[in-house]
Chains A and B, each alone.
Chain A
């Protein structure tokens, strides 16, 4: 049994006896990877924090409905993914109501660039913009593959899509980003899957 499976089994058995302890173990183990997964979809720390807390709240309320047909981590990532998508939709809708004559994409990019918890070289400004404006599913596939290095099979299970869709989506994103940043001479890094997720604590 792998370490992940062991922790999942511990969380589930503890959930029957002591929910608070099970929940703390769940948060302790999943908070960081989930946060980074969500962050790659919503980008700003403030939004990622919001989505992460909502994800854990949904888990607190919905872990009883977990039918053990898949791994617990798959269930958790699917909730996080759905929460992130729903958050982005609500954010866009709210913006359109409050600012009917302004451009959402411009506001969104400005907001990301104003986040004090994102550091990037000026050369990466363009690439950050391009990633930020990708549809959520493309962002999720790209993030799981590029930053977390997951195999397409696992990405497919986590996002509830087919393996071929995951593969195609990833290559679409890579090609799109390559074409957008062709003049910046940094596209090799995008094509590379070896880049580790960056976790710098302030």
Chain B
């Protein structure tokens, strides 16, 4: 036969062990939350610094494009008016 056996006294302190596990899990989740918060605080400013020049570049390119478009429109309108 197959006998599944249990260590002696296993069931006696089970409620206590479940409560300890609950506490440990709570502590672990708080620690994980703190670690994530620290990681975000530490990593966000350098990340912003890293992407800021690129963002600036894009902004400048956009402005130039808009100016070009406006200029082109003005030239076309002027030509049309003169004709």
Contacts and interface: CB of A to CB of B under 8 A. Distances in A.
B39 to A, nearest CB: 23
A202 B5 contact: yes
A39 B4 contact: yes
Given A23-B15, A57-B21, A60-B22, A198 B7 contact: no
A99 B25 CA distance: 27
Interface string A42-72: 0101000100110011001000000000000
B1 interface: yes
Interface in B1-30: 1-8, 10-11, 14-15, 17-18, 21-22, 25
A188 interface: no
A40 interface: yes
B3 to A, nearest CB: 4
A108 B6 CA distance: 20
B15 to A, nearest CB: 5
Given A31-B11, A32-B11, A57-B25, A118 B5 contact: yes
Contact of A124 (B1, B8, B14, B22): B1
A128 interface: yes
Contact-residue bracket for chain A: 20 to 34
A188 to B, nearest CB: 13
Contact-residue bracket for chain B: 10 to 19
A127 interface: yes
Contacts of B2: 118-120, 124, 127-128, 198
A24 B11 CA distance: 11
A163 to B, nearest CB: 27
Nearest to B8: A202
B6 A35 contact: yes
6 contacts: A35-B11, A60-B22, A117-B4, A117-B7, A119-B5, A198-B1
Q: What 9 pairs between A and B have smallest CB-CB spacing?
A: A119-B3, A120-B2, A200-B5, A56-B18, A198-B3, A27-B15, A117-B5, A39-B4, A24-B15
